[in-house]
Amino acid sequence: MDVLVWFRSDLRVSDHPALSRAATLGAVLPVFVADPQDWAAPAASGRHWAFVAAALTELGEDLARLGAPLSLRQGAAAEVLPRLCRARGIRHIVSHRRAWTAPRDAALRRVLEAEGITWEELSEETPGLAPPERLTPVEGAVAGLIPPARSLGLKDDPCPFAQGGGRRAGLQLLESFVTGRGTQAPVGSLSPLAGERSSLRLSAFLTWGLLSQAELRAALPGALPPEVVKAVTARLNARRRAGQLEGGAQPAAPLTAALAAFSEGRSGLPFADALMRYLRATGWVNAHARSLLASVALHHLGAEFSATGQMLARLLSDYDPAIFWFQLQKVAAARPLDPLRAGETFDPEGRFIRRWCPELAAVPQAHLHRPWRWSGAGSVLGRRYPEPLADPQKALREAAALHRLRLRDETEFAVIEDPRPFLFSPRAPNAQLTLDL
Ligand SMILES: Cc1cc2nc3c(=O)[nH]c(=O)nc-3n(C[C@H](O)[C@H](O)[C@H](O)COP(=O)(O)OP(=O)(O)OC[C@H]3O[C@@H](n4cnc5c(N)ncnc54)[C@H](O)[C@@H]3O)c2cc1C
């Protein structure tokens, strides 16, 4: 039987149960569909596509080596898949199950069934399937081209230090962690400055499935201290749990002027701005920095939840709806974080701020985190660098008061209306999200 293997967020050939399963059934047509509905989503961005496009190049090479080149198509999956099946006389599709697209997938399944096509979905952790050494290609398959970002309606999205897409870049990063970084730095450090060394930085590779969770878990022991293996395993378990969550489609939420300024790293809060610029330039920040950025937007600037989420999601190369929206909810429900104190704690010498906010070069060290207190502030603030968008102390006080009110209301609501346990315990709000995995 000829089989279409649908690649989605699993852009690899190794440890790929769906591909292994298909190879046992007959000739294989590997397909990736760039569905405009996905790429028109308000949380999608050019940097996401750049990562995927590089991954597809390598996936195509790997599949060609195995004997069945990748067919790339642009269009609605509900039209492209039946068309490809009809053209090649295929009646069976195999893919991995993806919880966050489940509602859409149910509709797609009905379309396929109406065409007499069965769709088999496997867990990415299905055991016991040997990797194929060779694939038999479906006859007459046409490769197609990787669509340019613009044809998917994506705007230019400069990200000069973006992580290299492609599985081999991910393997190198993993190697650098298990043989070097992970053996030295304290893993799980909250400091955004230590983050690049002390955390894996493999999230984009996991989001798009260039590496499987299983191969990551298998690579961890070895040279790494047991406490590091334990910490990373806990995070991977959180990822596995998040993989069960469904995501919902969201209408585009417009940015307010304050949120737009913050998204450019121009909120007037030096450490938060430095983090935002770093995120813009790299597509990545560690977990604590994500919480801080989200907290500033939601609590200090009072920005709306969807608008905040879509703005941040577009900047994160590893945007994974199943993880992202759940984490953002946690930040929204947690105690507001103080961006000034965070800066003083994690960047006491201000090196990170000076690196990413060069406009503050003239500000003396003692005032770098709160430049408005410097007697010479007038020469910089409101000229080269903005005044704070919101009075930081007042914003924090008000946000904290709101948070306390919310907790009180939620507690009362929980007692009177709903005996089930709270998802977020009101008595133990935990803003340091990496610690409660
Ligand atoms: C507001 C907010 C938004 C986030 N959005 C995303 C997102 O879109 N995509 C994403 O992959 N992670 C997200 N995270 C979780 C976490 O911050 C990142 O996975 C992590 O910072 C990525 O860096 P790393 O690869 O160095 O991970 P490490 O800290 O070294 O952890 C290793 C791996 O474990 C997984 N992991 C770590 N923390 C979590 C978590 N809390 N939940 C689920 N899996 C986790 C990731 O796959 C990560 O690559 C978000 C966190 C917050 C607070």
When mean pLDDT is compared across 48-52, 118-122, 221-225, the lowest value belongs to 221-225
Banded pLDDT at 225 (limits 50, 70, 90): confident
Give the residue range(s) of CATH 3.40.50.620 domains in the chain.
3-127
Residue 349: CB atoms within 10 A of its CB come to 9
Banded pLDDT at 313 (limits 50, 70, 90): very high
Which of 235, 312, 315 is the best mutation target for the ligand 1 pocket, counting ligand atoms within 8 Å of the beta carbon and taking the most? Answer: 235
- Between 427 and 29, the more confident residue is 29
Which of 275, 306, 327 is the best mutation target for the ligand 1 pocket, counting ligand atoms within 8 Å of the beta carbon and taking the most? Answer: 327
Give the amino acid at 191. S
Q: For residues 418-425, give the mean pLDDT.
A: 29
For position 329, what pLDDT does the model report? 92
Mean pLDDT of the residues in the chain:
88
Cα-to-centroid distance, 299 and ligand 1 (Å): 21
Which of 47, 163, 198, 203 is the best mutation target for the ligand 1 pocket, counting ligand atoms within 8 Å of the beta carbon and taking the most? Answer: 203
CA distance 374 to 364: 8
Return the ligand 1 atom nearest residue 285 CA: 21
CA distance 367 to 86: 68
Distances (CA, A) of 259 to 117, 296, 312: 46, 10, 10
- Between 16 and 194, the more confident residue is 16
Quick one: which H or E segment has residue 34?
Answer: strand 28-34
Which residue's CA is the closest to the ligand 1 atom numbered 8? 319
CA distance 247 to 265: 28
Find out whether 81 and 93 touch, Cβ atoms under 8 Å: yes
The phi and psi torsions of 67 (rounded to 5 degrees) equal 110, -5
Q: Which residues line ligand 1 (CB under 6 A)?
A: 199-203, 206-207, 232, 235-236, 238-239, 242, 286-287, 290-291, 294, 316, 318-320, 323-324, 327-328, 331, 433, 437
- First CA to last CA across the chain, in angstroms? 44
- Between 427 and 381, the more confident residue is 381
Find out whether 210 and 255 touch, Cβ atoms under 8 Å: no
For position 221, what pLDDT does the model report? 83
pLDDT digits 0-9 by tens, 80-135: 999 999 999 999 999 999 988 888 999 999 999 999 999 999 999 998 888 999 99
Given CATH 1.10.579.10, say whether it is the number of domain 257-436.
Answer: yes
For position 43, what pLDDT does the model report? 96
Which residue's CA is the closest to the ligand 1 atom numbered 47? 203
Banded pLDDT at 430 (limits 50, 70, 90): very low
pLDDT digits 0-9 by tens, 165-193: 799 999 999 998 888 888 775 655 678 78
For position 247, what pLDDT does the model report? 66
| ipTM for this prediction | 0.99
**Structure token digits, residue 385:** 């660098």
- Please report how many Cα atoms fall inside a 13 Å half-sphere around the Cα of residue 58, on the Cβ side: 23
Q: For residues 133-147, give the mean pLDDT.
A: 93
Which residue numbers belong to the known binding site for FAD? Answer: 199-203, 318-320
Q: What is the DSSP string of 348-375?
A: TT-HHHHHH-GGGTTS-GGGTTSGGGST
pLDDT digits 0-9 by tens, 342-379: 999 999 999 999 999 999 999 999 999 999 999 999 99
Give the residue range(s) of CATH 1.10.579.10 domains in the chain.
257-436
CATH code matching the domain that covers 3-127, chosen among 3.40.50.620, 1.20.140.10, 3.40.960.10, 3.30.420.40: 3.40.50.620
pLDDT digits 0-9 by tens, 254-309: 999 999 999 999 999 999 999 999 999 999 999 999 999 999 999 999 999 999 99
